[in-house]
Amino acid sequence: MPSGWRTAASSWNFGAAKLRRLTPGEATVDTRHGFTEYLERLLVSRGLWYWIQALSRETSDNPEAEAFRTAAPRLFSDFQESLFQPR
């Protein structure tokens, strides 16, 4: 495997610490959510672009997170906006 690549298993922290998204070449986003909460939000958002940025205090005010909050309720009638507020 080339240097700098990660396997799927090493890209996730399954310990007691909160889950962080780790993508090679990108900054981490501290969601302050455990794995179960993270997965629930991924499913509710259907992976809509920039959904994870709505969960972080550091990125929740950026234009992408705002666009997610605007688009998701229009696209998904069962969208739960309360799940996408930063902790």
* Sequence-separated contacts (24+) of 70-79 with Cβ below 8 Å: 72/45, 72/48, 75/48, 76/44, 76/46, 78/44, 79/44, 79/45
Q: Is the pLDDT of residue 76 over 60?
A: yes
Q: Residues near 16 by Cβ (< 8 Å), separated by ≥ 6?
A: none
pLDDT in tens, 8-55: 444 444 555 555 555 566 667 778 888 899 899 899 999 898 898 898
Whether the full predicted model's pTM is greater than 0.75, yes or no, is: no
